[in-house]
Structure 1
Amino acid sequence: MSLTILGYVVTEEIANNSIFLYEPNIIKELPDLLDPERKVNWELRTAAVHALDGLGRYKNRFQEVLSGLNVSANHGVITFIFKKMQNCMEEGKELDFPHEFIEGLFSLISYLVTNNAGGNALISSGTVQTFVRFLQNKNEKFLKLNTKCLIVLDNLIYGFPTAFNIFCGAEGIVELVKRIEYEIEEVVKMREQEGNQPNERMQMIKASLKIMLHMMQTNGTAEGMRNLIDSSLPKSVNLIFKNSKVFESNIYSLGVDIFATFIHNEPTMLNVLQELKIPQSLLDTVEEGIMNSVEVLNSLPHAFSAICLNNNGLNMLIERKPMKHFLKIFTRREYLNSLGERVDMPVILGNAIDELIRHQPSLKQGIFESILEMLDDIERANEELRERRKEDSEQVKFDYNFESEKREVLAASIMTQYIENISKFLEGIFQHHPHCNYFIEIGGMNKLMKMYSQSTLPYDFASSSSSYALSHLIRLIGEIEPNIIAPCVFNE
């Protein structure tokens, strides 16, 4: 293991003088320890894998690692190990390799993929075809192994165009779609039986959907995926939406992204998806409550945009008003962490809604009505925080404690975060001046100015980032309509 650590923390020059000067053939000798036919204990094999991983980090030693492992040959050490794994999987017995060794092996392979020579060598050895065969085995014992294989496949296909062609030639897309269908149905079935979901299965679904999404979004893959709409993938996505409470937020967001990508890649696909009632299922999940995840928040506006690409979808969005539910994230305490995970997250969401309105002007009225409701909701949030603070102050009269003081500070902090997020969100929308004018016409400016008079604001609000965000927004509006803005500012 010392060789592994050496590769991570010591420069190549020092390693040359301290190791390779005395052991010039060490990289060539280490792969011999990995040969499954040799009688070497697994601790030593695992250490050898990690050592190769560490020493391969040196730029001038990477090729030695590839040559020593004979990665590009279909009779190399790594290929031989994969064949042994495949035999175990086909026989349905436990793998002959301990968990630590497999972890080390895939760590090494993941690093090889990051280099052009390493990735091409793995492709030449038939790794893609081998992993496709792994996918066909649905035994729960191999879920973790298959997940690791999918992650490597994702990196190979995403980084090397030839890997995608090989993947398609090996019926990889067909097998992947089948596996997604199987795993999702298993999760739903377990839910009906009130059983616990193994974490490995969720990770498997996540990895499967991620590689599928990457292939759908990559240029040059359209020909290989043209029949995807006729597969079971849309139905699998629909199952995720219908059982959204069962799946993790990252799986749900991947489902949303796949749904939107289907349509953006080929708008005529929306008719097919509507026949399967997938847009309806998605909007149902929005009305039930938006998952608290930055990935979900980021993906939903693109899905709304996709649904609008035909008249039926547009009418559905106008009728069901999903934006009314979506904008509640800005006045709900539980979403503060997700919105704060990225500094520019509210602005990104604002830009997405701005683009949606510009492409679909008929949604403008409904969206701005929802924005006004959001601003009114600030009043409700302020009242709730004020009542909570009032209860705490009553308690202080009889029994002073620091918890009450903490809650008062917390209430002020929550309100300032609401104001900052809303200000940045509206800033993203108002980059398009006609939207700003419309906001003023419907009386939005008066509601916006009321933010300054919320009773739960802290005494130093004027020097906070929230105050700056709000004043910056008002200045942005003022540059467009100064004659209208000035009376609103002075009256408030």
Structure 2
Amino acid sequence: MKIDRSKLKKYLLEPPADCKHFIEKLKNCDRKQLRELLQPITLWHIGKQAFSQYFTKCELYHWIDALDLFDSVLEEACLKTGTWMLNCDRKENGELKFLVLDILHFTALLIEHSYSRHLYNSIEYLILLLQSSDVHIVLGVLSLLYVFSKRSNFITRLQLDKKQALITRLIYLAETWGGKENGFDLARCCSIRDSSEFPEHATNLHFLYVTQSELSSGGIQQQISKQIDVPNVHLAGENAAAVMELVLAEHTTLAEDKQIKLFTHLRLAYAFPNFEQRLLCIQARLQALSILGIIYSIAIQDVNNVLYDGLIEELVEVLNVRDTTLIDIKASALKTLTSIIHLERTTKHPPRLQEIIEATQANSYHGFLPTLVRQCIDKLTDPNADRFPQTLSTSLFSFLYHMASYETGGEALVNCGIMQALIKVVNYYDESQEFIMFVTRAVRVIDLITTLEITSFQANNGLQAFTNRLEVKQPFIIRTPKRVTQQTQIFTSDSSYFVNPNSPTTPEDLNSTTDHQSSTDMDTQQNIPTSATTTNANLDQDQQTNDDTFELTTTAPNLGLLCYHQRAALLKSILNYLKKAFSEPTMVESTRHIMDGSLPNSLKHIISNAEYYGPSLFHLATDVVTSFIFQEPSQLSSLQDNGLTDVLMYALLKKDVPAARDVLASLPNVFSALCLNTRGLENFMECKPFEKLFRVLLSPEYLPAMRRRRGADTGKLTALFDFT
């Protein structure tokens, strides 16, 4: 169904330039060109040129035209040409099927990298596509639904009829095939190719259902049991839908909900003899179970054939299978274990986390899970080793994070001594976006388990690893030619402390526009401003950097650069940890002199480049400074000596403050911290803050930022007036 534009916000901003350009290409292409555009996109970027642009994470309403285009394709694919067969399942519609697969994959990427996901309005077609004969299409739908389930409450807020239809189909997909006692355990199904080694009902359909008889003369209606038997299902028709139509022609009284269950069993029996198709069915089952575990954990606890005794053991056995072709299956098994951990949130069902810990031997140094994690990290941090499969690595790090979120899981990870391996990830400087994601997850796992035990973190110099990583990730020098200095902002004496050309940088930082995948340019996003005063200066396009012909500056607004969201996520994780560490009694001695190192320069860079890093990171960096000052007030004078407080004051009282509620609400705390000593108060008064603060509070640009949660912010605004 097309998106209802009448319900959109009245103030729709322009989409980022990269998104807008790609959307226009989508709108003006035919079906063949649409496939050519979508097919190469496996990650959230386009093209393989030297200046390959990563799409900006943006509002989903920017993509409405594209989503409506996709909706029309899905609608065509879901048309039924008989009693059951979908249009995309017909042999002559192969191109349509491949286009649907490309659309499902691209939409999953789009949903993962966008906001306002509630706008998506093609859910009824996704529900219908779960009835496709092609398991690839079913997997494509499940992948999209998985993104929805882990990134938003989209599924739980669906209309009741749609939600019930979706949940029913997911439960049928996730049901057990018989378990180990019947010879259908997951590891065996993944390993044995010959279907004849399984019980006969693996490829034969036997389905019992109950129907109501016609009213008798006495007005009594009886229930009649009927059996559907289809031997060798894979030989009964060209695909599962064709066989289903034959069955429905004979059993016309079969209720609709029973039809869905019947077809799920029939499709599995049809695919089982083909080993590749069977693997896809296993993956679909695990994916469905993962979605259910996240969004509907309470409901599936009572479904004994979904979460049954022995399931966790089966999943771990799949991870132990030595077969390099099962990467996607193993990744799905880890996702399923992760979703089962979510059941720990409910008290109705006995906790399963302890069962997962025992099955994976997570609390032992030489256990299966810790060994797998170390193998993964060794390969990720060794440039000469074969890369550990990314999908499996991603699922593994996600599993660790969710396990560490609970005290029992965190204690297990502490006991197995995994800290050293995690810090190894932080200390390895691979600038690819994929690796940055792993570093972010490692930092978050460390953050969780250090709340339980800090000794191993300190023994492995974890705090130094974090500050070093912060320094490497963001002393990013933007170089502009001297010949365009009239168009480029060069710092005057008032702001010369922003320039730090001696900061350690990586080669990628110095050559921000190299054509290498790991260059810093790949870690930024072009968002060309519409202001007429914006510079048109280009970054140097070759890898030579001549200091004699360039001025160094650390501000980025004129070049329209935005911090790529993976880099921003890493910085946010590190800064959050530092902020928490300042108030930890066990970390007092370690953090007291942390500002004597490179951290002040890193914080200066973020604070003085709010246009590049965004309001969220700007607020977090100022919060780190404020927290440190309140924790160690005696260190304020040293921060004043190294210029950090000057940078902060300049950013808040001379430059334009980011128009974000959190930033504005934090001003009283920040100014209180800066003015704790006489020198700070004098510097504050020299900036003549009153005019600037009143302009901020009354400006139309800032008022909308304070509109929400008015009651929560009133006290903070009052504090600001009292302070000034």
TM-score interval for Structure 1 and Structure 2 normalised by the shorter chain: 0.5 to 0.7
Which structure: greater helix fraction? 1
Determine whether 1:18 maps to 2:305. yes
Instruction: Quote the residue 2:424 is aligned against.
Output: 133
1:4 matched residue in structure 2? 290
**Distance in 1 between residues matched to 2:477 and 2:395, nearest whole Å:** 29
Q: Residue in 1 aligned with 2:66? A: none
What's the counterpart of residue 317 of structure 2?
A: 32
Contact 2:381–2:425 (CA<8 Å) still a contact in 1?
Answer: no
Structure 2 residue aligned with 1:171, among 461, 464, 469?
Answer: 461
- The answer to whether residue 361 in structure 2 is matched with residue 74 in structure 1 is no
Q: Does 1:271 align with 2:637?
A: yes
- Deviation (angstroms), 1:268: 1.5
Determine if the alignment matches structure 1 residue 296 to structure 2 residue 296.
no
Alpha-carbon distance change, 340 to 139 in structure 1, aligned in 2, over 3 angstroms: same
Alpha-carbon shift at residue 224 of structure 1 (Å) = 2.7
Q: Describe how 1:146-295 pairs up with structure 2 within 5 A.
A: 146-157=439-450, 159-160=451-452, 162=453, 164-186=454-476, 195=513, 196=521, 197-198=523-524, 199=564, 200-286=566-652, 287-295=654-662
Is the partner of 2:576 in helix, strand or coil? helix
8 Å Cα contact 1:177-1:233 kept in structure 2: yes
Provide TM-score, normalisation by structure 2: 0.46
Judge conservation of contact 1:31–1:77 (CA < 8 Å) in 2. no
Q: Call closer, same or farther: CA 1:310–1:122 in 2, change over 3 Å.
A: same
Q: How big is each residue's C-alpha offset from its partner over 1:126-183, in whole Å with a ceiling of 9 and x where there is no partner?
A: 22221111111011122111011112222223x42x1x23211210011111111111
| Greater alpha carbon shift after TM alignment, 88-97 vs 216-225 | 88-97
Aligned-partner Cα distance in 1 for 2:674–2:391: 46
Cα deviation digits, residues 403-460 of structure 1 (max 9, x gap): xxxxxxxxxxxxxxxxxxxxxxxxxxxxxxxxxxxxxxxxxxxxxxxxxxxxxxxxxx
The answer to whether the 8 A contact 1:74-1:126 is kept is yes
Counterparts of 2:698 and 2:431, CA distance in 1: 42
Do the aligned partners of 2:675 and 2:681 also contact (CA within 8 Å) in 1? yes
CA, structure 1 residues 156+77, in 2 after alignment: closer, same or farther (shift >3 Å)?
A: same
- The AA in structure 1 aligned to 2:396 is L
Deviation string for 1:175-210 (max 9, x for gaps)?
A: 111111111213657888665444222322222112
Higher percent of residues as strand: 2
1:6 Cα deviation from its structure 2 partner: 3.8
Matched residue, 1:310: 677
After TM superposition, the structure 1 = structure 2 runs for residues 32-111 of structure 1, keeping only pairs within 5 Å, are 32-35=317-320, 37-59=322-344, 60=350, 61-92=352-383, 96-111=387-402
C-alpha separation in 2, matches of 1:5 and 1:172: 35
Deviations 1:272-316 (A, max 9, x none): 011112211112112111012223223332121111111111111
**How far 1:14 sits from its partner (Å)?**
4.3
SS of 1:58 mapped into structure 2 = helix
SS of the residue 1:341 aligns to:
coil
Aligned to 1:112: 403
Match of 1:473 in 2: none
Find the residue that maps to 2:702 and give its secondary structure: helix
Please list every run of 5 or more consecutive structure 1 residues that lacks an aligned counterpart in the other structure.
358-366, 368-492
- Distance in 1, matches of 2:573 and 2:419, equals 16
Structure 2: give runs of 5+ residues left out of the alignment: 1-286, 345-349, 480-507, 514-520, 525-563
User: How many Å separate the matches in 1 of 2:428 and 2:689?
Assistant: 41
Query: Per the alignment, in what secondary structure is the counterpart of residue 304 of structure 2?
Result: helix
Q: Which amino acid aligns with 1:3?
A: L
For the residue of structure 1 that corresponds to 2:693, the secondary structure is helix
Q: Which residue of 1 aligns with 2:720?
A: 353
CA gap 1:129/1:191 in 2 versus in 1, 3 angstroms: closer
Partners of 1:329 and 1:211 lie apart in 2 by: 30
Within the candidate set 691, 698, 717, 1:324 is matched to 691
Check 1:83–1:342 CA distance in 2 against 1; reply closer, same or farther (3 A cut): same
Residue 81 and residue 263 in structure 1: after superposition, are their counterparts in 2 closer, same or farther (change >3 A)?
A: same
Counterparts of 1:355-370 in structure 2 under 5 Å? 357=723, 367=724
- Residue 146 to residue 192, structure 1, CA distance change in 2 (3 Å): closer
Corresponding residue pairs, total: 352
| Cα distance in 2 for residues equivalent to 1:346 and 1:52 | 41
Give me the whole-angstrom Cα distance separating, in 2, the residues matched to 1:248 and 1:169: 34
Q: Aligned in 2, Cα 1:166/1:341: closer, same or farther, shift over 3 Å?
A: farther
Name the CA shift for 1:3/1:193 in 2 (closer, same or farther; >3 Å).
closer
SS in 1 for 2:366: coil
Q: Which amino acid aligns with 1:74?
A: Y
Instruction: Indicate the larger mover: 268-277 or 122-131.
Output: 122-131
The one-letter code sitting in structure 1 at the alignment partner of 2:314 is E
Instruction: Give the CA RMSD over aligned residues.
Output: 2.6
Secondary structure of 2:587 counterpart: coil
Partner residue of 2:30?
none
Distance 1:204 1:299, change over 3 A: same
- Is the contact made by 2:471 and 2:598 (CA closer than 8 Å) also made in structure 1? yes
Aligned to 1:302, the other structure's residue is in SS state helix
Of all paired residues, the percent bearing the same amino acid is 22
1:169 & 1:43 partners in 2: Cα distance?
36
- Native 8 Å contact 1:85 1:95 kept in 2: no
- Which has the higher mean CA deviation after the structures are superposed, 218-227 or 25-34? 218-227
Equivalent residue letter for 1:66: I
Separation in 2, partners of 1:67, 1:337: 52
- Report the CA distance shift for 1:293/1:191 in structure 2 as closer, same or farther (over 3 A): farther
CA distance in structure 2 between the aligned counterparts of 1:103 and 1:26, rounded to whole angstroms: 22
Matches within 5 A, 1:330-409: 330-353=697-720, 357=723, 367=724
Q: Write the distance in 2 (CA, Å) between the matches of 1:219 and 1:210.
A: 17
Aligned partners of 1:12 and 1:58 also within 8 Å: no
